[in-house]
Structure 1
């Protein structure tokens, strides 16, 4: 089933491997080496995101639109093409659409014939390969519903846990292409259940990156940080994004999730991060200036990083949230060194005006993000960090009251 193998390799960004009847179960079509490329559909998804982004220049959009059109037509993505033309992202070319539909119909006919031939004349593995080829074809043309339906059929023909896991990865990639978080969540849960039946470490490590990207995309930066950091030395998920992008996500998530000591140990001094961080614009200065308390340099790098986040399809929905969180981190770090400090001194340290700092801090204090108060008359900031033991005592009292209320309600029910 060469069609199935070729499509599988193309969709995963891996290298084609020879399949033999009796081989140990291991990552095959899902396998990518250090030179692995990003899955073409996810590259296309990012271009579609940029095509509708207000910050992208019109001239750049013309170039991107031509690339998107070429990719869609080359892969016969008629379902996606119809959606894009209906929303005026692309201009309708009826001749091109008719041609794509004709090619799809012809290819489906061939795939159905191969399935029928395999079921009549060949073994179970060949039948599975034939159904997989049809699944991958639906993925290639961007027909999510039919692809998921065909993947279920293929799963019914699949026995090996590793191969069933590969099918889940295809569903995950479709989920990220369409930003279908329900599909992604269900697929991750399914993958974890499959791992209880077995599975290799390579696929488990790959799943960590997929789950980390899902957590980051749904604003769970703490969990995303843990998963990304666990995957730094074992990263092979090149079909999702390049390693440089992975490090970019890891550093950004870590800064707002880790304490200062952990950030130093796991990120600032991490050899895997140090080898590539210099290739990513502003990122090295961003994290090092924060750790070294060079706040003017930090804000300069911060502006560059924000431009990068704006153009990232996974981070852009959380742009304002991330801006707030990172400023909370840097202001808290500065104030931690003082019991009181003048607003003028803080403004000078950050390279901004007194009025800007006054407005910024008042918002964060009102939101409960910073533990300090502003003495506007004296022009002084006074910190009032909560005592850790007192906070634990208050939390214990609160939980105790909650437990007593539950017990009283339970006792009333039992008495009745």
Structure 2
């Protein structure tokens, strides 16, 4: 079906730079780096629409009178759990809480006019090429000119114009591979502006096209796109198999870097996979060890060379996670990745990644599996601050993730005991008895932990319900629902009968 098209733009690393600049949790040095890369990209690619969208004095998303209601102060902003499902904005994941710490993308009217003038000249040249193709060339040349127009709008991040141009191009394209590439470009536009509804609809559209005869490369690309999309809507149990399956066939460098994909796969697998699959597909996976580090040089080389074993997809129960920071001891040798450069790949070239310490992530998965819960809690705290709070796809769900990982650790420990003392359990996790009591209580009340706490005796007692008891409970519950529906149906029938009388 030919080589992939329309893969260069939009550059998703710029969306991460915007997030880094606006996020109240990122340090000043990272904000300065993000600002510089953003300014350089705007000037290099003549991105007048993006500049206006971000920096305009009245409507800019990064200034004090734009979308946010939070002021830029030295004190940390009060963060709250928020859903950006219905908020289509490049910083929608922040939920209106924004702080640039005084490092702002300044508005320059003259610069904007110059960029806009350059855009108009380039657009006129594309229009001229298209007109000449219509007059004297064939359909291929016409489509090429139209494709340049769509890519131009995607490059300067004019969302509405780019979507319109790609849809128009889609209508005139009869090649299946080109149609899939167009829809993938639309998905990236949706990811850039955090438009989850657009991404959801486009992923379904791309899946339909791929199932109708897409080639191997595009099928694998779509798998990574689906996995990232599912991460953004907190469907980690569905995202984990897709992301893990993508590790050995990853080519979607326009979406994210390989090491960033490994990070997403590890996080999704940690919270979603059952223990056996978590061991084989995450802890011992050669691809994961090649990025996170491994004590075995053979595993490291196997991961880098792609010599990996194909593991079956798993469907797991989510269990596992919020702890304040603590120091950790380094065990596995960390490798380098920079989550702030997510999406730097263009499909044609890759950019170098600055070093990032992967030790917390490596310790988290290894200590969880081995039952070293105190190290696990410490590593989990650093994973939250170093990875979850700094990535635009993970930020919105960081508190949920940490809570679920704590739950997973509790379930794993209690599964081995009928009765365990609170003091012993608290010591295992490196927390106080009172803190552990408060943390366990909501999980028990929500029936997510099958145990009871006896503070008089100072123990946690596991309640093991048999299958027959569960079946009996399910039958009673379903029977009550059926009786309720029948009663409502009977009332409707009687009312209609009286009307006929």
SS for the counterpart of 1:168 is: helix
Pairing partner for 1:115 from 119, 123, 130: 130
Contact 2:9 2:185 in 1 (8 A): no
Describe how 1:368-383 pairs up with structure 2 within 5 A. 368-383=447-462
1:17 alignment counterpart: none
1:80 alignment counterpart: 50
Cα offset for 1:254? 1.2
1:100 alignment counterpart: 115
2:165 alignment counterpart: 150
Cα offset for 1:404? 5.2
Unaligned runs of 5+ in 2: 64-103, 294-334, 336-357
Contact 1:127 1:157 in 2 (8 A): no
Contact 2:380 2:402 in 1 (8 A): no
Pairing partner for 1:159 from 159, 171, 174: 174
Cα offset for 1:39? 6.2
**Structure 1 pair 408–374 and aligned structure 2 pair: CA distance change class (3 A):** closer
Contact 1:39 1:240 in 2 (8 A): no
SS for the counterpart of 2:19 is: helix
After superposition, what is the alpha-carbon deviation per residue over 1:175-211, rounded to whole angstroms, capped at 9, x for unaligned? 1100001110111111122124321121112111111
SS for the counterpart of 2:244 is: helix
Pairing partner for 1:137 from 141, 146, 152: 152
Q: 2-side partners of 1:188 and 1:240: how far apart?
A: 14
- Structure 1 position 41 matched with structure 2 position 11: yes
Give the TM-score taking structure 1 as reference length.
0.87
SS for the counterpart of 2:460 is: strand
SS for the counterpart of 2:461 is: strand
- Structure 1 position 284 matched with structure 2 position 392: no
1:28 alignment counterpart: 4
**Structure 1 pair 158–102 and aligned structure 2 pair: CA distance change class (3 A):** same
Q: CA RMSD in A?
A: 2.0
- Structure 1 position 50 matched with structure 2 position 129: no
Cα offset for 1:244? 1.2
Q: 2-side partners of 1:175 and 1:101: how far apart?
A: 23
Q: 2-side partners of 1:39 and 1:150: how far apart?
A: 14
- Structure 1 position 356 matched with structure 2 position 406: no
Describe how 1:1-400 pairs up with structure 2 within 5 A. 25-29=1-5, 41-86=11-56, 87=60, 88=63, 89-278=104-293, 279=335, 280-307=358-385, 308-400=387-479
**Structure 1 pair 122–271 and aligned structure 2 pair: CA distance change class (3 A):** same
After superposition, what is the alpha-carbon deviation per residue over 1:85-119, rounded to whole angstroms, capped at 9, x for unaligned? 13324211111111101100100100011111111
Q: 2-side partners of 1:404 and 1:201: how far apart?
A: 51
Moved over 6 A (4+): 411-415
SS for the counterpart of 1:148 is: helix
1:19 alignment counterpart: none
Q: 2-side partners of 1:30 and 1:84: how far apart?
A: 24
Q: 1-side partners of 2:435 and 2:129: how far apart?
A: 68
Cα offset for 1:30? 6.3
After superposition, what is the alpha-carbon deviation per residue over 1:13-65, rounded to whole angstroms, capped at 9, x for unaligned? xxxxxxxxxxxx2333368xxxxxx9662111111101011122334423321
After superposition, what is the alpha-carbon deviation per residue over 1:137-194, rounded to whole angstroms, capped at 9, x for unaligned? 0001110101111111111221110100000011011011000011101111111221
**Structure 1 pair 124–40 and aligned structure 2 pair: CA distance change class (3 A):** closer
Structure 1, 187-196 or 173-182: larger mean CA deviation: 187-196
Unaligned runs of 5+ in 1: 1-24, 32-37
Q: 1-side partners of 2:6 and 2:55: how far apart?
A: 33
Cα offset for 1:251? 1.2
Q: 2-side partners of 1:39 and 1:377: how far apart?
A: 63
Structure 1, 77-86 or 210-219: larger mean CA deviation: 77-86
Cα offset for 1:259? 1.3
SS for the counterpart of 1:381 is: strand
SS for the counterpart of 1:282 is: helix
Give the TM-score taking structure 2 as reference length.
0.73
SS for the counterpart of 1:199 is: coil
Q: 2-side partners of 1:150 and 1:73: how far apart?
A: 23
**Which structure ranks higher in relative contact order (CA pairs < 8 Å, sequence separation ≥ 6)?**
2
Aligned residue pairs total 386
Q: 1-side partners of 2:379 and 2:429: how far apart?
A: 12
